[in-house]
Chains A and B, each alone.
Chain A
Amino acid sequence: MNAPYFASFSTPVFLGVAVLLGVFFGFFLERAGFSSAKKLTAQFYFKDWSVLKVMFTAIVVAMLGLAYFALVGWLDMSQVFIPPTFVWPQLAGGLLLGAGFILGGYCPGTSVAAASTGKLDAVFFIAGIFAGIFLFGSGMPFISGFNDSGALGPLTLPVWLNLNTGLIAFAVAVIAIAAFWVAERSEGPWKLFEKTYGKETGDTSSEG
């Protein structure tokens, strides 16, 4: 039986698997320290590169895993969900999410992990998300045009750039490694920058 298996499961089992996957996800988010807004936002001050490292590692591992499984016939890629591309909404949505991230200190997933370990600020963030979604729903009639603009369907990079999938996968992995290298190298110069400009620096631990 080939993966993906969701078609052969009943709904309750499928949802149960979703919960289980969520458990692992939340567990590792917390392990990585991502239930702390201070640690998450330190990424955007070039102080702590964990966010970039974890995200890229996850993407590259999953990407290579999918590619390998598809190659050996364990996985039918045509059945795998590919998020549809909406160029302008995703660009705008990304900007908003990034803004919300540095404003509130979390993204949706990490806020849940943080709230579950007792971070009260995360609870406010989650409340904000619900409010934001409600606002979005209320405003839908006005922005539905923009919301559906740039709809390119489940477009993937290989198709879009007209390049071989293996090549793209390789390029992504190389870019990830390069990003890691830059991250590691920048910690020295950054400390020098801070010393020079006398910036008060907070550490990446949380305070009660």
Chain B
Amino acid sequence: MFELIGVAIGGFVSGWLAHRLKWSVDKGPRISRMTRYQLALAGGVVTGIGARLARGCTSGLALSGGAVLSAGAFIFMLSVFAAGFTGAYFLRRYWL
């Protein structure tokens, strides 16, 4: 939790130094902002459930776990990429 506060601070500092601070919405060119918000919300819900099941997310489990060669970390990572590439095909309307 405290680390996340740091992440927020660090991201802000970097963006500020690079003049990349701006209220903006990152989205694919073919969808509306409203759609993007809904997708983001839905994505967050799915990710939240996934992270609880896996006892970690990409930084805590995949990166740190991978560095100590945890078996679960690699299982997790492979699943993340598998789902990402598969989902990308079905969701390409939203990003490309």
Min distance, Cβ B37 to any Cβ of chain A, angstroms:
5
Total count of chain A residues near the partner, CB < 8 A: 106
Find B43's partner among A114, A116, A125, A199 (CB 8 Å cutoff). Answer: A125
Partner of A44, one of B20, B55, B64, B85: B85
What residues of A have a CB within 8 angstroms of the CB of B69 in the complex?
A: 63, 156-158, 165, 168-169, 172
User: Which residues of B45-91 are within 8 A (CB) of A?
Assistant: 45-88, 91
Question: In this assembly, does A18 line the interface, its C-beta being within 8 Å of a C-beta of chain B?
Answer: yes
Residue of A112, A114, A115, A158 with most chain B CB atoms under a 10 A cut-off: A112
Q: Which residue of B lies closest to A92 (CB)?
A: B53
- How long is the Cα–Cα vector from A42 to B1 in the complex, in angstroms? 28
Contact of B2 among A22, A130, A155, A201 (CB under 8 A): A22
Within the complex, what minimum Cβ distance (angstroms) separates B96 from chain A? 5
A103 and B42 contact, Cβ closer than 8 Å, known pairs A63-B67, A92-B53, A202-B28 = yes
The count of chain B contact residues (Cβ–Cβ below 8 Å) is 83
For B50, give its contact among A15, A62, A99, A169 (CB under 8 Å). A99
B41 to chain A, nearest CB (A): 4
A142 at the binding interface (Cβ < 8 Å): no
CA distance A195 to B5 in the complex (A): 44
Q: A131 with B68: in contact, given A96-B49, A118-B24 (CB under 8 Å)?
A: no
Q: A122-B26, A165-B69 are in contact. List 17 more A-B contacts (CB 8 A).
A: A22-B3, A24-B6, A29-B11, A38-B27, A45-B96, A82-B68, A84-B72, A96-B53, A98-B83, A99-B50, A100-B45, A100-B47, A103-B91, A116-B12, A127-B44, A133-B51, A135-B45
Interface residues of A (CB under 8 A from B): 15-16, 18-31, 35-38, 41-45, 52, 55, 58-59, 62-63, 65-66, 80-87, 89-109, 111-122, 124-133, 135-137, 147, 152, 154-158, 160, 165, 168-169, 172, 199-202, 206-208
